[in-house]
Structure 1
Amino acid sequence: MSRGDAAARRLYAWEDAEVAPRDTSHVPFAQLQALVDHVWAAEGLRFPPRLRPLPRQARGTVARASRTAIEAPPELPTWILLHELAHAMSSTAEGASDGHGPLFLGLYLHLLVRHARMPRAELEASLRAAGLAFDPNPRPAFLG
């Protein structure tokens, strides 16, 4: 999650307005893998991404993810971890990714509702108001 990505500015503005105020929890790095494993298993998935420290030279990056790994700082807000898990779910091991597209947003919305207990109807309405398209019935990309 790089805050300087021009293509994602509307998404980040939406997160800052709608998601961050609803979840102020922070998880230390030592506990992040357990949370990733829990969410992955709760979604009926196997082989969760592995946590790695975010490299120090990644100064403009809050966190980043692929299908197989999530790189995170020493502490991370829960909603950002769910954002990165949505990236992992909307990517394949071969590197194909939905970026911040409708599949990613649908998965992210689902994770926010299910695992952070955020109100689905309010989030959907705010996504539509922000002009952000989302898949209402998302399925992880690697499931075919």
Structure 2
Amino acid sequence: MSRGDAAARRLYAWEDRVVALLDRSVVPFAQMQALVDHVWAAEGLRWPPRMRPRKATRGVLATGSRLAIEAPESLPSWVLLHEIAHALADAGEGDTAGHGPDFVGLYVGLLVRHARMDGAMLAASLAEAGIAWNPAARPVLVGD
């Protein structure tokens, strides 16, 4: 994940203030593919993205797209869910919907379903942070 544009910076600040405090679990790289596969299947999709190793840099910890999620030796589980949300938002050409309302809606859904976070609390904290999100967002490749 990159600390690039203003929408991304607002979302990352919200994650640091809210999400990171609620989920302190860490996933080792050896277990990441199983988690990706589980989330993908739970969303009703086939052919999940493949995990690929990458070295974390100062600006980018991990990246996610329809075909691959690149991550270091371990990640907080909420960061992996963030990258899975990018993969869910990618129509297959690298267009991962940035960090806009559809992406945030997909991500919040993953946090609720897979990290057992309270949806109402997340919605309230997003509103307080001024982050728009689409609670009806669906994976781009539903039925793939």
TM range (shorter): over 0.9
Q: Which runs of 5+ in 2 are unaligned?
A: none
Equivalent residue for 1:24?
24
1:33 aligns with 2:61: no
Q: Is the 8 A contact 2:36 2:49 kept in 1?
A: yes
The two structures have a TM-score, normalised by structure 2, of: 0.93
The two structures have a TM-score, normalised by structure 1, of: 0.93
The total of aligned residue pairs comes to 142
Distance 2:76 2:24 in 1: 7
1:92-129 CA deviation, whole Å, 9 max, x = no partner?
11222210001100000000000000000000000011
Deviation at 1:54, TM superposition (A): 1.2
1:43-82 CA deviation, whole Å, 9 max, x = no partner?
11111000000146x4421100111100000001100000
2:45 partner letter: L
The alignment yields a C-alpha RMSD, in angstroms, of 1.4
Percent identity over the alignment? Answer: 63
Dislocated runs of 4+, deviation >4 Å: none
SS of corresponding position for 1:87: helix
2:88 partner letter: M
Equivalent residue for 1:137?
136
Q: Which runs of 5+ in 1 are unaligned?
A: none
Distance 1:90 1:108 in 2: 10
Distance 1:55 1:28 in 2: 14
1:84 partner letter: E
Distance 2:12 2:92 in 1: 25
Distance 1:96 1:11 in 2: 18
**Residue correspondence of structure 1 range 20-99 to structure 2 within 5 A:** 20-55=20-55, 58-99=57-98
Equivalent residue for 2:104?
105
1:11 partner letter: L
